[in-house]
């Protein structure tokens, strides 16, 4: 199919959402040891074995383990030999997110429309087939070396993607209540936030829904700026951070230095019961940022009445913020790989659609305490 067969202007005008996205299809990380990483996601995070490709399935160069929990699919990929693009990516960045895959109805249309609007090519529309049907994938670059792959799977009945087999394993740990990807945050170099905003507006048809400047997000030492981009149906939200001038090195600077470039800073995973989820994650060894007890003294006067017991929140270090529509509960893990780069957020929304602006100071001071220990502040 070519773009000429479609009435693009009509589609562009459809609520500004010319490229309808059904949701996050998967998130793929390039990691140095996919097999061991998959075990971490299962044992510590509560994911299940989902799919696999590697030598046993005829994949001679790369091995991928897919783990899932409710709607979340994480693909962990390692090279099986030296001299590969994946190996070079890992050498430069350490373990990190390469692909944020978006589920679309028509991956050929999405690619053609994005390229026509100035998107940078990563993968031409490619049909992959097996006995369960076919999947079309295509892709473009976003910030740094991160790519968006468009996945069209309406003609596919298989478990994940052609080339993968179902991964059956005797180890089936209990889930931790993680449901779906709420948002994914990118860190970009100073001066690139607005370029990224323009990319999401012009190429992807997203709209900016929020903006934070260094007055909102600053502590005694560090500052950053952030703009939140969303697609039309609100299922995909990408805040973009850039460092702002502060007295010391900001968390974004630290990320950019250790990731050696722009990339995904955190993946926020939603739960319906954050107290239960965080209790389970902690019991399995996940480390969270420590929040000072003073935060909880002022909590009720700041956010008003909430359903949760504040003592339980304090025990776990869970933060609360309120906006016009409701409130949210959130917590950040410490970074989850050798380099101080990516981490996870666990979030429960009770009406609130924002990102916890009232918690930025407490969170960033907690990150600074970690930076202090690393000697990177």
Residues that bind Fe ion (CB under 5 A): 268, 345
Residue (167 or 343) nearer to Fe ion, CB: 343
Residue (223 or 268) nearer to Fe ion, CB: 268
Residue (42 or 183) nearer to Fe ion, CB: 183
Residue (113 or 188) nearer to Fe ion, CB: 188
The two three-digit tokens of residue 268, written as one number: 């926020």
Residue (203 or 268) nearer to Fe ion, CB: 268
Residue (140 or 319) nearer to Fe ion, CB: 319
Min separation Cβ 182 and Fe ion, Å = 8
Min separation Cβ 260 and Fe ion, Å = 23
Min separation Cβ 266 and Fe ion, Å = 6
Residue (102 or 346) nearer to Fe ion, CB: 346
Instruction: Give the distance from CA 35 to its chain's centroid.
Output: 21
Min separation Cβ 223 and Fe ion, Å = 17
Min separation Cβ 82 and Fe ion, Å = 36
Residue (31 or 268) nearer to Fe ion, CB: 268
Min separation Cβ 347 and Fe ion, Å = 7
Min separation Cβ 355 and Fe ion, Å = 6
**Nearest to residue 144, comparing CAs of 24, 259, 19?**
259
**Nearest to residue 262, comparing CAs of 189, 192, 190, 199?**
189
Min separation Cβ 329 and Fe ion, Å = 12
Dist. CA 199–CA 141, nearest whole Å? 10
Residue (112 or 348) nearer to Fe ion, CB: 348
Per-residue HEC secondary structure of the chain comes to CCHHHCCHHHHHCCCCCCCCCCEEEEEEEECCCHHHHHHHHHHCCCCEEEEEECHHHCCCCEEEEEEEECCEEEEEEEECCCCCHHHHHHHHHCCEEEEEEEECCCHHHHHHHHHHCCCEEEEEEEEEEECCEEEEEEEEECCCCCEEEEEECCCECCCCCCCCEECCCCCCCCCCCEEEEEEEEEECCCCCHHHHHHHHHHHCCCEEEEEECCCCCECCCCEEEEEEEECCCCCCEEEEEEEECCCCCCHHHHHHHHHCCCEEEEEEEEECCHHHHHHHHHHCCCCECCCCCHHHHCHHHHHCCCCCCHHHHHHHCCEEEEECCEEEEEEEECCCCCCCCCEEEEEEEEECCCCCHHHHHHHHHHHHHHHHHHCCC
Min separation Cβ 12 and Fe ion, Å = 29
């Amino acid at each position: 199919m070519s773009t000429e067969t479609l009435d693009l202007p009509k589609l562009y005008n459809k609520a500004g959402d010319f490229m309808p996205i059904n949701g996050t299809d998967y998130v793929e990380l390039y990691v140095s040891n996919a097999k061991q990483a998959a075990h971490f996601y299962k044992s510590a995070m509560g994911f299940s074995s989902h799919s696999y490709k590697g030598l046993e399935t005829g994949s001679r160069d790369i091995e991928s383990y897919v783990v899932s929990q409710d709607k979340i699919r994480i693909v962990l990929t390692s090279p099986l030999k030296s001299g590969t693009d994946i190996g070079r990516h890992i050498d430069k960045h350490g373990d990190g997110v390469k692909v944020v895959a978006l589920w679309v109805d028509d991956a050929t249309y999405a690619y053609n429309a994005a390229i026509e609007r100035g998107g940078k090519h990563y993968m031409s529309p490619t049909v992959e087939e097996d006995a369960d049907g076919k999947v079309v994938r295509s892709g473009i670059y976003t910030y740094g070396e991160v790519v968006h792959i468009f996945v069209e799977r309406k003609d596919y009945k298989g478990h994940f993607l052609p080339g993968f087999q179902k991964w059956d394993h005797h180890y089936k740990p209990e889930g931790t209540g993680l449901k779906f990807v709420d948002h994914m945050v990118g860190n970009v170099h100073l001066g690139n936030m607005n370029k990224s905003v323009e990319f999401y507006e012009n190429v992807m048809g997203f709209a900016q829904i929020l903006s934070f400047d260094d007055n909102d997000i600053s502590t005694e030492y560090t500052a950053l700026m952030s703009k939140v981009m969303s697609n039309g149906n609100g299922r995909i939200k990408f805040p973009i951070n850039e460092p702002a001038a502060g007295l010391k090195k900001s968390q974004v600077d630290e990320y950019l230095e250790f990731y050696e470039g722009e990339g995904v800073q955190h993946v926020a995973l939603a739960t319906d019961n954050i107290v239960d989820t965080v209790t389970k994650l902690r019991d399995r060894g996940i480390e969270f940022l420590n929040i000072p007890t003073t935060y909880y003294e002022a909590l009720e006067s700041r956010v008003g009445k909430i359903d949760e017991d504040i003592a339980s929140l304090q025990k776990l270090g869970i933060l609360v913020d309120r906006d016009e529509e409701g409130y949210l509960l959130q917590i950040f893990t410490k970074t989850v790989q050798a380099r101080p780069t990516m981490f996870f957020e666990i979030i429960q929304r009770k009406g609130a659609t924002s990102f916890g602006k009232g918690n930025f100071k407490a969170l960033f001071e907690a990150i600074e305490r970690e930076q202090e220990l690393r000697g990177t502040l």
